Amino acid sequence: AQSVTQLGSHVSVSEGALVLLRCNYSSSVPPYLFWYVQYPNQGLQLLLKYTSAATLVKGINGFEAEFKKSETSFHLTKPSAHMSDAAEYFCAVTRAAGNKLTFGGGTRVLVKP
């Protein structure tokens, strides 16, 4: 069975500072990995995805994530936080295209002025 662990349910960063959200996964086969963002009172939207191509994946709004097989990690980063980045972020894994996603518990990001 697949599982996803997000370290830290809440992260607080200052505007302009680095955003780092941690995600570790377990999967018996090479996975497909995703980061989704949920803004208040909205559904989830895709930030970026890894599907076995380049290990460094760039997404929307300046976010990127690096797939590290040896560490079973897929951490999300953004060099400079903006107030609009305040949201909840979810890491998710699936073992194959078209299969169901397993989500982590989420990390809520607070951006301080």
Q: Does 96 bind other proteins (CB under 8 A)?
A: yes
Q: Looking at beta carbons only, is 9 or 61 nearer to other proteins? A: 9
Residues 6-45 that bind other proteins (CB under 8 A): 6, 9, 32, 34, 36, 41-45
Number of residues that bind other proteins (CB under 8 A): 27
Distance CA 38, CA 17 (A): 21
Q: How far is the CB of 20 from other proteins (least distance, A)?
A: 19
- Look at the alpha carbons of 23, 72, 70, 67 in this order and tell me if their dihedral is positive or negative: negative
The helix/strand/coil state of 62 is helix
